[in-house]
């Protein structure tokens, strides 16, 4: 097996989900006792929060942090047992760097530099790519954990902030620069990608308008395992 693009910290453990509380906390059974773990995923994690499901935990790396564990992934049952669904929403931003650095973004060829967390007007976008003789390429990343009938879909909760990012990208495109959405699908069972109009029709309509205006849509699958995350290729985008 190839080396992961992103490696998890040493000391990851697998527990069993007990419950989620107050958005940022998951309680997990680990070594026969209940532990609290931090989750940075503010979405609903629709279909993933099953009591007793496997939970992949990484140890906190910041000294003095209140909670000792971070939730990286949740397990979903399948014919061979279960597969991991990555729920850590910091992963897409970090993967942008890893994918760019290893040449796995064909649409970014010719660019030589990536600035992360770049400010554009009143928005902060995940990346700005630049290169000699190349138009600026602004990129916003989103984490995808929802699949329905083989279609990977975003979002899993209403997101006004997400729609705002799409408007910013449309403004960038109207100014003659490039703009792209990078959807990181952290599960293996999606065959294509679309906006989840059944969750947030406003966002779905905004994505359709953005694509029609020239904003690029790149849904990328990654495979999550207990040692890290590997590249799985790009899926077709189907407008909602």
CA distance 188 to 176: 35
Q: What is the pTM of this model?
A: 0.95
Q: For residue 132, tell me if it sits in a domain.
A: yes
- Does residue 211 contact residue 170 with C-beta atoms inside 8 Å? no
pLDDT-based confidence at residue 149 (cuts at 50, 70, 90) = very high
> Are residue 133 and residue 201 in the same domain, yes or no?
yes
* pLDDT for the residue numbered 1: 65
**For residue 107, what is the DSSP state?**
G
> Are residue 165 and residue 51 in the same domain, yes or no?
no
Choosing from 86, 109, 124, the residue where a domain stops is: 86
Angle (nearest 5°) at CA 134 between 212 and 124: 65
- For 208-219, write each residue's pLDDT tens digit: 999 999 999 999
Return the closest-CA partner of residue 165 out of 184, 181, 144, 186. Answer: 181
Q: For the stretch 51-73, what's the b/e string if a residue is b when 16 or more beta carbons lie within 10 angstroms of its beta carbon?
A: eebbbbbbebeeeeeeeebbbbb
Name the residue range of residue 50's domain.
6-86
pLDDT-based confidence at residue 223 (cuts at 50, 70, 90) = very high
> Are residue 71 and residue 97 in the same domain, yes or no?
no
Q: Is the pLDDT of residue 65 over 80?
A: no
Q: Return the structure tokens found at 127.
A: 């990346």
Q: For residue 82, tell me if it sits in a domain.
A: yes
The domain tally of the chain equals 2
Q: Return the structure tokens found at 58.
A: 């990484």
- For 103-135, write each residue's pLDDT tens digit: 999 999 999 999 999 988 778 899 999 999 999
> Are residue 19 and residue 100 in the same domain, yes or no?
no
Helical (H) or strand (E) element with 209? helix 201-212
Return the closest-CA partner of residue 34 out of 49, 12, 51. Answer: 51
Q: Is the pLDDT of residue 32 over 70?
A: yes
> Are residue 134 and residue 189 in the same domain, yes or no?
yes
- For 150-200, write each residue's pLDDT tens digit: 999 999 999 999 999 999 999 999 999 999 999 999 999 999 999 999 999
Which CATH number goes with the domain that contains 59?
2.40.50.580
pLDDT-based confidence at residue 6 (cuts at 50, 70, 90) = very high
CA distance 5 to 228: 7
Q: Is the pLDDT of residue 35 over 70?
A: yes
> Are residue 150 and residue 51 in the same domain, yes or no?
no
Which CATH number goes with the domain that contains 192?
3.40.1350.60
> Are residue 216 and residue 167 in the same domain, yes or no?
yes
Q: Is the pLDDT of residue 63 over 80?
A: no
- Does residue 137 contact residue 177 with C-beta atoms inside 8 Å? yes
Percent of the chain whose pLDDT exceeds 70: 99
Looking up tokens 């047992």 gives: 81
> Are residue 186 and residue 77 in the same domain, yes or no?
no
* pLDDT for the residue numbered 177: 97
> Are residue 148 and residue 174 in the same domain, yes or no?
yes
- For 7-22, write each residue's pLDDT tens digit: 999 999 999 999 999 8
Choosing from 61, 86, 111, the residue where a domain stops is: 86
Mean pLDDT rounded to a whole number for the chain? 95
* pLDDT for the residue numbered 157: 95
Q: Return the structure tokens found at 122.
A: 């009143």
Choosing from 69, 86, 103, the residue where a domain stops is: 86
CA distance 157 to 124: 21
Q: For residue 240, tell me if it sits in a domain.
A: no
Q: For residue 221, tell me if it sits in a domain.
A: yes
* pLDDT for the residue numbered 231: 97
CA distance 98 to 103: 9
> Are residue 170 and residue 211 in the same domain, yes or no?
yes
């Amino acid at each position: 097996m190839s080396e992961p693009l992103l490696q998890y910290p040493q000391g990851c453990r697998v527990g069993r989900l007990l419950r989620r509380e107050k958005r940022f906390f998951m309680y997990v059974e680990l070594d026969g006792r209940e532990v609290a773990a931090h989750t940075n995923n503010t979405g609903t994690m629709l279909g993933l929060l099953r009591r007793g499901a496997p939970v992949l935990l990484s140890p906190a790396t910041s000294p003095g942090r209140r909670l000792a564990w971070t939730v990286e992934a949740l397990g979903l049952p399948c014919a061979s047992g279960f597969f991991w669904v990555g729920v850590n929403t910091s992963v897409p931003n970090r993967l942008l760097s890893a994918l760019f650095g290893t040449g796995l973004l064909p649409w970014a060829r010719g660019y030589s530099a990536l600035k992360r967390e770049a400010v554009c007007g009143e928005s902060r976008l995940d990346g700005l790519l630049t290169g000699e003789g190349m138009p600026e390429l602004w990129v916003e990343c989103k984490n995808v954990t929802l699949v329905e009938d083989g279609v990977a879909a975003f979002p899993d909760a209403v997101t006004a902030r997400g729609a705002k990012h799409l408007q910013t990208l449309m403004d960038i495109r109207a100014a003659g620069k490039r703009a792209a959405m990078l959807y990181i699908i952290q599960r293996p069972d999606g065959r294509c990608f679309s906006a989840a109009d059944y969750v947030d029709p406003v966002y779905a309509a905004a994505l359709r308008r953005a694509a029609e205006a020239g904003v690029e849509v790149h849904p990328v699958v990654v495979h999550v395992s207990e040692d890290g995350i590997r590249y799985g290729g790009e899926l077709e985008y189907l407008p909602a």
